[in-house]
A and B are shown apart, each in its own frame.
Chain A
Amino acid sequence: MAKLTLVNGQTIISGQTNKAIDTIEGYGTKQLTWVIKGNGKVKLDVGSPSTGSKSIDISL
């Protein structure tokens, strides 16, 4: 599950705040895109029961 949290009053123009990812292959990647209006930072949490989770801040 990927969860995007807006911190600074931004708005999402395209993309979902909660996005389920079916699977990520071993050594694989998945690309997600959001179009966001605003500036500052947003927070992205990605995780699954079998991998634990990871959180990053993205500067717009």
Chain B
Amino acid sequence: MSFTIRFIIILFLSATVIDTQSQNADQIFKAAGSPANPKVAISWNHYNDHGGITEICKKIAAAYPELAKLESIGKSFKGREMWCLTITDFKKGDPEHKPGIYIDGNIHSNEIQGSEFAMYTAWYLTETFKDTKFIQELLADKVFYIVPTINPDGRDSYFHEPNTASTPRSGVIPIDNDRDGMVNEDGYDDLDGDGEILLMRRKSNNGRLRVDPADPRRMIQVGPDEKGTYEMLGLEGKDNDGDGQVNEDGYTFEYDPNRDWGWGWQPNYIQNGAYKYPFSLPENRNVLNFVMKHPNIAAAQSYHNAGGMILRGPGGQEDVGTYNSQDVQVYDAIAKKGEELIPGYRYLVVHKDLYSAYGGELDWFYGGRGIYTYSNELWTPYLMFNKDATRDPQDNASYQFDRFLLFKDAFVDWHEYNHPQYGKIEIGGFKKNFGRAHPGFLLESDAHRNMAFTIYHCYHTPKLQVDTIIEKDLGDGLKEITAVISNQRIMPTHSSQDIKFNIERPDYISITGAKVIAGMIVDNPDLNIAREQKNNPATIEVSNIPGLDEVTVRWIVQGSGKYTITVDSKKGGLSTKSK
């Protein structure tokens, strides 16, 4: 009897151990560049709804209180918290005085993997900090503000309601799309109840499509001299309100959250998708407020899908002049590195290479705040076989990839359905998790590469240093102190957009502990050409400290003794030197 009881207890205990931990630390051999035995165990081969994001963020913050802090930047329309992880070495320096990068994802509801990429970044930085000198130095100097989703309502509706890979793009504030006085009365219908919005097809003697004999899942267009056997009837749905239209007013297409930002904003009749006025969507307004409270943000990244692109502004043709050559140089240098780090991704300009759009997020970040900003369009069909492919339904690559690498998990086979309006039809097609979202086994690898790009971007925010201090005795108790302040990274403290619109105050280079008689900016130290600053000469105001360059300032001081020189820049951080 007692033997049996003990046996049961042991069984129970071992089951618990297996449940929480797969291997002991000493059974693990570290793979290069990845945390071997992370405190926060997450597998990066699935997606997480807002509840999942909340839990992961809380776990990271709880596991690494000296590296991660969690706050909500506000609530969404439906009251979900918009989480922000601040990642930095809190033991070194004041986070508010470190150059920062802001990262977000998921502004478009169906563009989900940006949230995982953003969280992977937070996870990776905290888990590798202990072993990786580069990450330690990075987090001593810089701060990451990571908001995994800026559209949590839309995200959850994409996951938990029937959808396609492309819906909803919009957030969830209701809009009467067809202006019939009813709201969301006729959206897609999950006719067969499988949680997916698929395609509808019907046999037709005059159809222009037929079944591909090599893969019966695939429909191919017939040539001009052939006869087809099928016609397509659009996305799964029916006429819900008896107005003779199918799927004309659903919750999946209300407005575009990426046409709501306060730079070059245009109303809906000019810019399709704009909501009421700039920052009329609560989620975007929360981001605005957060960014305004953090003037140390010098770089930004927003994650979209799809297509494999590293995008910069301008979004609108009118703003071409806004991006002058110095800023374009900075954008080019960082993004070209990005093309190297993320195979299959191309560096493009929104208005020129895609389409012209007003009121986009990246335009506000750069145009309104002078912050160097990229939008990455995550996932490219290139990644299926590491060669060029398209998302065109006529492209066979997706079917081949699904068949041989995903074992047909991404496709719902065609099956019959009796439609109230169309009669006998068939429903089938790719699931919503395929085509724009990464398949599981490629998610972590591409998250890592995109993270590496944002780390490079963040690394190249300004790094200021009081380099050399040269003293010259002028006699009569007077001394000339010349200080060289260097910026050791690509980014200037002020983008030219910032200087043009006086967005951020100048950098202050100040001397304390000495009686200052005169202060000046030295334009040419060799030829002794300087500009005197008459007011408050102890604190020299410099409009900009360019990237990979230096500025020289000079003071005439009276007396001797110790003094300290400080450079204080909103986007460039703080640095001091005493002598």
Q: Interface of A with B (CB < 8 Å)? A: 11, 13-16, 33, 35, 37
Report B-chain residues with C-beta under 8 Å of the C-beta of A11: 474
A13 and B474 contact, CB distance less than 8 A: yes
Residue B520, interface by CB 8 Å: yes
B529 and A35 contact, CB distance less than 8 A: no
Report B-chain residues with C-beta under 8 Å of the C-beta of A14: 518, 520, 528, 530, 532, 554
Residue B425, interface by CB 8 Å: no
Minimum CB–CB distance from B404 to chain A (whole Å) comes to 72
Residue of A nearest to B532 (CB): A33
B554 and A37 contact, CB distance less than 8 A: no
For the A-B complex with A14-B554, A35-B518, A37-B478 known, give 18 more contacts whose Cβ atoms are closer than 8 Å: A11-B474, A13-B474, A13-B480, A13-B518, A13-B556, A14-B518, A14-B520, A14-B528, A14-B532, A15-B530, A16-B528, A16-B529, A33-B532, A33-B534, A35-B520, A35-B556, A37-B474, A37-B475
Q: Which of B475, B476, B532 sits near A35, CB closer than 8 Å?
A: B532
- The distance in angstroms between the C-alpha atoms of A25 and B137, with both chains bound, is 53
20 contacts between A and B (CB under 8 A): A11-B474, A13-B480, A13-B518, A14-B518, A14-B528, A14-B530, A14-B532, A14-B554, A15-B530, A15-B532, A16-B528, A33-B531, A33-B532, A35-B520, A35-B532, A35-B556, A37-B474, A37-B475, A37-B476, A37-B478
- The distance in angstroms between the C-alpha atoms of A13 and B529, with both chains bound, is 10
Report B-chain residues with C-beta under 8 Å of the C-beta of A35: 518, 520, 532, 556
Residue of B nearest to A38 (CB): B476
Chain B, interface SS category? strand
Residue of A nearest to B527 (CB): A16
Query: Scoring B residues 543 to 562 as 1 if CB is less than 8 Å from chain A, else 0, what string do you get?
Result: 00000000000101000000
- The distance in angstroms between the C-alpha atoms of A43 and B554, with both chains bound, is 26
Minimum CB–CB distance from A2 to chain B (whole Å) comes to 14
Residue of B nearest to A19 (CB): B529
Report A-chain residues with C-beta under 8 Å of the C-beta of B531: 33
- The distance in angstroms between the C-alpha atoms of A15 and B518, with both chains bound, is 13
Residue of A nearest to B520 (CB): A14
Residue of B nearest to A33 (CB): B532
- The distance in angstroms between the C-alpha atoms of A58 and B476, with both chains bound, is 22
- The distance in angstroms between the C-alpha atoms of A14 and B476, with both chains bound, is 17
Report B-chain residues with C-beta under 8 Å of the C-beta of A16: 528-529
Report B-chain residues with C-beta under 8 Å of the C-beta of A37: 474-476, 478
Residue of A nearest to B529 (CB): A16
Report A-chain residues with C-beta under 8 Å of the C-beta of B520: 14, 35
Residue of A nearest to B534 (CB): A33
The 8 A-B residue pairs with the shortest CB-CB distance, nearest first, are A14-B530, A33-B532, A35-B518, A14-B520, A37-B474, A13-B556, A35-B532, A14-B532
